[in-house]
């Protein structure tokens, strides 16, 4: 039973309770950095690292933090780890850090990070909090990657993936460059792509729930 609980903690945020595609939280970075898969992966990894560190620390100190000042303390912890991540990116992946710009420090106010700290890490064990952080972090990465995958393809006719440490091209393919739609490289394209993906995910989720309900009714009959 404990194994099933831990599996749900990690797996639910990937798709069933995805923070972006289902709960509609933290949309700002998804819209802002999803022009390319390079930026999407970079932002996703930064969010995973911050979530992991903050959930770990907050779970460790949860019994020591006075209830009246817990939110300011959580924000200070989150901001500290965001600063560390930004410094690491500036040192080792400077071009990626520059392309992400202000969206790195804005991780501090991402409602997914603070939400998981308040709703989960402050009330659960270190192990469960780490699983929750990884689940929500990878859920965020999946969502932002999906948006970037379709946006970059529609805007440029293909994809390009670079090594963030050397900035060398790993691969580049533009089979439909002549049919590119520049609109999808703009903010409007971000809203359109994210809206369509959320709509598809919602339709699949509703259809799945309806099938389960019908199956349950048939079993009762």
The one-digit pLDDT tens for each residue of the chain (221 residues) are 588 889 999 999 998 899 999 999 989 889 999 999 999 999 999 999 999 999 999 999 999 999 999 999 999 999 999 999 999 999 999 999 999 999 999 998 888 999 999 999 999 999 999 999 999 999 999 999 999 999 999 999 999 999 999 989 999 999 999 999 999 999 999 999 999 999 999 999 999 888 888 887 777 76
Query: Which of 79, 90, 110, 97 minimizes the C-alpha distance to 42?
Result: 97
| Contact (Cβ atoms closer than 8 angstroms) between residue 44 and residue 141 | yes
The count of domains in the chain is 1
| Contact (Cβ atoms closer than 8 angstroms) between residue 181 and residue 155 | yes
Residue 16: give the domain boundaries: 2-220
Structure pTM?
A: 0.93
Residue-level pLDDT at 213: 85
Residue-level pLDDT at 170: 94
Residue-level pLDDT at 209: 87
Residue-level pLDDT at 191: 95
Residue-level pLDDT at 221: 66
Q: Which helix (H) or strand (E) holds 10?
A: helix 2-11
Range 200-204 contact pairs with CB under 8 angstroms and sequence separation of 24 or more: 201/15, 201/18, 201/21, 201/22, 202/22
């Amino acid at each position: 039973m404990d194994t099933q609980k831990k599996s749900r903690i990690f797996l639910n945020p990937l798709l069933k309770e995805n923070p972006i595609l289902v709960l509609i939280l933290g949309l700002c970075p998804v819209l802002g950095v999803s022009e390319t898969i390079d930026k999407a992966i970079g932002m996703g990894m930064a969010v995973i690292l911050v979530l992991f560190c903050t959930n770990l620390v907050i779970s460790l100190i949860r019994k020591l933090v006075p209830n009246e000042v817990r939110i300011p303390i959580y924000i200070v912890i989150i901001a500290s780890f965001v600063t560390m991540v930004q410094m690491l990116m500036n040192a080792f992946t400077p071009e990626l850090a520059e392309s992400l710009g202000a969206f790195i420090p804005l991780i501090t106010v991402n409602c997914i990070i603070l939400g998981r700290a308040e709703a989960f890490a402050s009330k659960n064990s270190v192990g469960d909090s780490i699983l929750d952080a990884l689940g929500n972090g990878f859920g965020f990465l999946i969502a932002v990657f999906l948006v970037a995958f379709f946006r970059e393809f529609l805007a440029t006719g293909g994809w390009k993936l670079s090594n963030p440490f050397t900035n060398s091209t790993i691969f580049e393919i533009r089979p439909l460059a002549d049919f590119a739609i520049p609109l999808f490289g703009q903010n409007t394209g971000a809203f359109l792509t994210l809206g369509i993906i959320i709509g598809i995910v919602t339709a699949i989720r509703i259809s799945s729930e309806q099938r389960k309900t019908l199956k349950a009714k048939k079993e009762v009959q």
